[in-house]
Amino acid sequence: MNSFKMFTELGFRHITDIHGYDHIIFLIALCGVYTFRDWKKLLAVVTIFTITHSLSLALAAFDVLRLKGDYIEFLIPVTILFTALFNVTKLGSNKAGNAKVAISGLFGLVHGFGFSGFYRMIMLDSKPWYTSYLPFNLGIEMGQLVIVLVILLISFTFQQIFKVTLKSWNIFIAGGVSFISITLILKNWPF
């Protein structure tokens, strides 16, 4: 295969890898309160996440700003926990509001630094930056899109077919995701 396809596949594999599930769980927390009907708002949330994580990925990968990996590994589950708990607050469960968009943008910066560890490994120092950065990011976005669609389908199934109320669904997502993120916080405690 050519290297464009290779880097795209690496980006896709990286975000969809079930063994590295922290980014997947963040997306679950981020999309938890939305349904297919809220696609415009969800698009804004996911787009701002994409923009900010692409920015911090570039900053770290090209040595403009590098944060210690231990702190990033710790901060990622903190963002997940915050987002999950935020979903059950009045502000967080308001799907029309922009608070979730702001959180998504802010936390996208943290997750971009998380992607950069892997990206620094796969990038080729002897080739122009865009030959790996662009396809790698494209792969991440494709993977992110697939994950969001799966989350929405699962959410739809529970709410429309099994008649689980949005409130119960929200509590379930917040509870499950919080539990996982707390275990990750404790495991990655850097202090």
What does the alpha-carbon distance between residue 153 and residue 156 come to, in Å, rounded to a whole number?
A: 5
Contact 190, 71 (CB under 8 A): yes
Structure tokens at 14: 């990286």
- Give 122 or 149: the residue with its C-beta nearer to other proteins: 122
d(CA 155, CA 110): 26
DSSP-derived secondary structure letter, 92: T
- Residues in contact with other proteins, total (CB under 8 A)? 32
Give the residue with the Cβ less far from other proteins, 39 or 172.
172
Q: Which residues from 113-142 bind other proteins, rule CB under 8 A?
A: 118, 120-122, 124, 126
Candidates 44, 150, 164, 166; binder of other proteins (CB under 8 A) is: 164
CB of 131 to other proteins, least distance (A): 9
Sole window of 45-53, 104-112, 137-145, 180-188 interacting with other proteins (rule: CB under 8 A): 180-188
> CA torsion sign, 97 to 152 to 88 to 53?
negative
Give the separation between CA 159 and CA 170, rounded to whole angstroms: 11
Does 189 bind other proteins (CB under 8 A)? Our answer is: no
Nearer to other proteins by Cβ, of 98 and 183: the residue is: 183
